[in-house]
Amino acid sequence: MQKIVIISSGAAYGSESLFNSLRLAIALGEQTPRPEVKLFLMSDAVTAGINGQKPAEGYNIQQMLEILTAQGIPVKLCKTCADGRGITRLPLVDGVETGTLVELAEWVVAANNVLTF
């Protein structure tokens, strides 16, 4: 089975980097045979995991994360990055969890492909 780790670091609505990584992750989750996909959000991308965001128009990052977690794709936020931005205690999108660099390292070692956005 193909194992893919996607690491995203772009701001939730600052550029399309995070948006494109989520689009790819959703598309990978719909493939047959389905690869094992894992998503790790770092730097400014961790703000995407905050529950209750309501963008005025365009795409909705929270909905995209909810699709991914419904597909069974693990989504983790870098704890150090979340701490640095003061969001550690804020409610997260359902299914999104805080992760560590050690967990990311384990994912990377076990992966066939690592994609960064």
Domains in the chain, please, with CATH?
A: 3-116 (3.40.1260.10)
Listed residue (115, 7, 12, 11) closest to 61, CA to CA: 12
- The predicted-structure confidence for 61-105, as pLDDT tens digits, reads as follows 999 999 999 999 999 999 999 999 999 999 999 999 999 999 999
Residue 75 is predicted with a pLDDT of 98
Handedness of CA 50, 117, 59, 27 (dihedral sign): negative
Q: Supply the pTM of this predicted model.
A: 0.95
